[in-house]
Structure 1
Amino acid sequence: MYQPKNYIKDDPEFIFKFIQNHPFATMVSKLKNFVATHVPVLTEGDALNFKLYAHIANHNEQLKALQDGAEVLLIFSGAQGYVSSSWYAEKDISTWDYSAVHVNARIKLQTPQELESSLKKLVNTFENRQKSPLFYHEIPQQMLLDHLPLITGFWAEPFKIQGVAKLHQGYKKEDVKSSIHHLEKGDAQQKLLAREIKKENAL
């Protein structure tokens, strides 16, 4: 990961919360060529000692790379967007603000029992946010029995973790405030970025 000094975010609490807040990751593996899959990834443990877990479809080409001990790169992306220098008090160069966490991890395939337990946690984690949730145990049993043989679950045990958050640190306060103001007028992604910039710069 490219980590300019001013934007390094390797604090364990930041990393852990970032992954939990942005669980939809890009998982990269090496076959003959690089392959990638976009998957929801959850944490187990705490900020100082955690592992990740997810699953992919068995007909996914990337499954060939997911063997015990194999390395994957998991990329978690946060709010991002273009920041125009036309929003500054004086002429300057425009930029792109963003945040991300990269996790290099070793794969350990799950047992069928671990897979089912992981699926329960996955479904329940996101169904808890719904107005009328449908929890794992409420899904028709035969549907689950038909589905489970079609997917493979795995643990991802981190051995290298890096974080970055380029959120207008070090810019003039009036320019940061102006950028926030303009981003707040934009789409959902820009509004989220505005909140992140405001939080990072304690505004």
Structure 2
Amino acid sequence: MYQPKKYKKKDPQYIYDFIKAHPFATFILNGSRILATHIPVLIEGNASEFILYSHIANHNEQLSYLKDGAEALLIFQGAHGYVSSSWYKEKDISTWDYSAVHINVKLKIQSGKELETSLENLVEKFEKNQQQPLYYKDIPQKMLEDHLPLITGFWCKPFKTEAVAKLHQGYGKEDVSEVVRHLEDQQCPMASSLSKDIKRENETSYVPLISSEE
């Protein structure tokens, strides 16, 4: 990962919270060519030591290379967007603000029981805030029996972690405020999320990206 010094993030808690807040990752594996799949990835543990897990469909080309000990890369992407230099007090160069976490991992195939537990956790995380949640235990047994043989779960043990957040650090308060204002004026969910990230980075010390209840 390209990490200019002023944008590099080293705080383990920041990285841990970032992964929890942005669970839809790009899973990259080297096969007959470089292969990538976009999948939800969950995290287990704490900021100082954690493991990641997910699953892919068995008809996915990556399955042939999904083996114990294989290396892979997980990319977690935060909000991002174009920042026009016309928003600054003085003329400057336009840029793109963004944040991301890269995790290099070693893979381990899950057992059938581990896969089921992983799926229960996955459904729980994303269903619990629904008006009428449908949990894993509520899915018809026959449907589960038909579906489970079609996917493979795996653990991802991190061995290298890198993070970057390019969010207008080092700019004057007036310029930062104008960037935030223009992003908010776009009334776009991505731009709104990016504006919040920029404010969090420039106005306060580290604030968790998600609540402690997550």
Please indicate, yes or no, whether the TM-score normalized by the shorter chain is above 0.5. Answer: yes
- Identity across matched positions, percent: 61
TM-score (structure 1 length as normaliser): 0.99
Give the Cα separation in 1 of the matches to 2:37 and 2:76. 12
Give secondary structure in 2 for the equivalent of 1:197.
Answer: helix
Match of 1:115 in 2: 115
Match of 1:146 in 2: 146
Give secondary structure in 2 for the equivalent of 1:79.
Answer: coil
Instruction: Determine if the alignment matches structure 1 residue 162 to structure 2 residue 162.
Output: yes
Report deviation, 1:172: 1.2
Question: After superposition, what is the alpha-carbon deviation per residue over 1:123-173, rounded to whole angstroms, capped at 9, x for unaligned?
Answer: 011001211100110011100010000000000000000000000000111
Give secondary structure in 1 for the equivalent of 2:9.
Answer: coil
Amino acid at match of 2:40: P
Give the Cα separation in 2 of the matches to 1:123 and 1:43. 14
Match of 1:196 in 2: 197
Match of 2:68 in 1: 68
- Can you give the 5+ residue segments of structure 1 that lack an aligned partner in the other structure? none
Q: How many residues matched?
A: 203
Give the Cα separation in 2 of the matches to 1:78 and 1:129. 21
Give the Cα separation in 2 of the matches to 1:166 and 1:151. 36
Amino acid at match of 1:195: K
Match of 1:7 in 2: 7
Give secondary structure in 2 for the equivalent of 1:16.
Answer: helix
Give secondary structure in 1 for the equivalent of 2:115.
Answer: helix
Instruction: Determine if the alignment matches structure 1 residue 27 to structure 2 residue 6.
Output: no
Give the Cα separation in 2 of the matches to 1:100 and 1:44. 19
Match of 1:36 in 2: 36
Match of 2:128 in 1: 128
Amino acid at match of 1:199: R
Give the Cα separation in 2 of the matches to 1:57 and 1:110. 14
Amino acid at match of 2:116: E
Give the Cα separation in 2 of the matches to 1:57 and 1:168. 39
Give the Cα separation in 1 of the matches to 2:165 and 2:19. 13
Give the Cα separation in 2 of the matches to 1:140 and 1:71. 36
Match of 2:211 in 1: none
- Can you give the 5+ residue segments of structure 2 that lack an aligned partner in the other structure? 205-214
Following superposition, which runs of at least 4 residues in structure 1 exceed 4 angstroms of deviation? none
Give the Cα separation in 1 of the matches to 2:99 and 2:111. 34
Instruction: Determine if the alignment matches structure 1 residue 95 to structure 2 residue 95.
Output: yes
Match of 2:57 in 1: 57
Give the Cα separation in 2 of the matches to 1:65 and 1:24. 21
Give the Cα separation in 2 of the matches to 1:199 and 1:103. 23
TM-score (structure 2 length as normaliser): 0.94
Report deviation, 1:56: 0.2
